[in-house]
Chain A
């Protein structure tokens, strides 16, 4: 599966650059594919039901996808390193209740502090996961399946069946989840900034590129001097912090929060990343793709609702889309592997 961004050892620097250009190109084609699918989906839905492209409906669509896009960005960092974080839904639940509880008991608290604390709580959860994965050498699937339960249990213990109601939250906070600036909701703006920042870091920074190296070839990366454990830890902490941010935004958007906030989100988030071209075995994919994947999944849900297709088809459609995406990636991966091999063979012979 690893159509590595780092690539097999190229015989010459020129060839390496060319190989890298080829992989970059495939990345872009892959993202373009989702954009085209999104465009087609919106177009078809709009033709069948013009109300779909009214501002209100599009705004709702973007709002719904925003939190998932943020979570998918974090998940991408982890999956690219050939790990996985199943605990994001539980972390979101913890931090959502934390933010709500904090604000309803101290309404005067400055909002940036609430955001920082929520993200901090998420980062601590991520750190816990990361330490168990790197230092404890426990597979990420096992660790985060365990903490999926443990963090959710903590949330239940903490809330003890109670919930935070919208009336007890300050208006300025709730406005964040619903209000817009120049027609663009704050929530969407925040998601855009996060996706661009994380995406750029993963794409262009050395520490970001090293995540691909780790995911493509863990041993190779270590031998090449990549500080794997530290990078993987960073990825988990970042994913946790982003899930924490998602939790605070969840509270701002929905107002009413109990211990069940975000139950089952983990699978949707992973589905969004995989649909967006992030290979489950690491080494491939981009944050932008994952965010587009989240948007596409949200869009399918909305358009099925608008078209009054029975809501029951939603889940089936998402599952089918995921399978198609995985199969497509496999096909593309095989093609690019062959292309790279043929190039280096031609070069050598």
Chain B
């Protein structure tokens, strides 16, 4: 990413420092000072304010509708988080989603059964991801530029495949599955799928050697390369995974709305990036957790739902609040670090006045 040595890695130190042999007090502060704790705090505030705005906010029904609306972005954000931890970015995911939806529509029109179409869509998504990955790893092109290009390319191909038609006659058994709730609860099926994927990606990122190498690559690609990690192959795998997951999201959105078309999910890539960054994943790579991303998604969904339900506040505030949160999520820790640095410098100056910098 737009790595800038001078401004990179602002708050890696605070989260790493209290881990080893600290006093209980420091350990508690370390946990509470973490980004996830802040997100939980914001979530609580959102719940309180949301309930104040509308009594319908803290209901099962509002969770069902609110989480359904965010299903695709949520699923794509999981795989995107891994890509960003590795210090790359994929802006083409929403276009892969559209291409998957378009392929689905086209093959359905040709009379293929859905059970066969869906794996084909996933393969298409995987190929899209591989295309991104090969351009980034083998040709050494910056992923930001590549995926802005494939954002247009894949969306364009989606239109080439299906034009401006749409397909709406998917079998009810499948659309019900995508729209319905899990086994009589208020939790949508898509959220159960999301939970499964979240556990999968969480384990992959945090508890496997593969995940550790993703962090290592994000923190210092060159060092990872020289310590024997297969940097290019790992990055390629990450892009392929992002593509497959985006294609899965394309299948879900088509079935959920019972409409497959090339124009679905415009702008989803930015929402997904927002969720990942708000979740505490560093845009420079090397830092972040899946838990943070899940909390950020809950927060975004909560804010959206609260403002939609509210009658006194215009729902246009959603965008403003989202933007402010995103900027604040990086600005806040930066300012806190600066304040503590100034304080430390001042105290060290008062101890050793002769060493003080002018």
Contact = CB atoms under 8 A, between A and B. Distances in A.
Interface string B316-347: 11111111111101110011000000000000
Contacts, number: 170
B319 A156 contact: yes
Contacts of A219: 5-6
B197 interface: no
Contacts of B316: 153, 156-157, 160
A139 B148 contact: no
A148 interface: yes
A83 interface: yes
B277 interface: yes
Given A156-B319, A315-B156, A319-B153, A148 B2 contact: no
Most buried by B among A83, A139, A147, A274: A139
A320 B146 CA distance: 10
B324 A274 contact: no
A141 B154 contact: no
Q: What secondary structure prevails in chain B residues at the interface with A? A: helix
Chain B interface size, as a band, is 35 or more
B284 interface: yes
Contact of A137 (B148, B270, B326, B334): B334
Interface stretch (B53-61, B157-165, B183-191, B217-225): B157-165
A157 B320 contact: yes
Contacts of A138: 327, 330-331, 334
B283 interface: yes
Interface residues of A, number: 52
Most buried by A among B2, B145, B153, B316: B145
A313 B320 CA distance: 34
Contacts of B157: 316
Nearest to A297: B152
Nearest to B325: A146
Q: What 10 A-B pairs are tightest by C-beta distance, nearest first?
A: A316-B156, A319-B153, A153-B319, A150-B323, A315-B156, A319-B152, A312-B159, A149-B323, A153-B320, A322-B149
Interface of B: 1-2, 4-7, 10, 135, 139-142, 144-146, 148-157, 159-160, 163-164, 262, 266-267, 270, 273-274, 277, 283-284, 314, 316-327, 329-331, 334-335
Given A139-B7, A147-B323, A149-B274, 4 more contacts: A132-B327, A219-B5, A312-B163, A322-B145
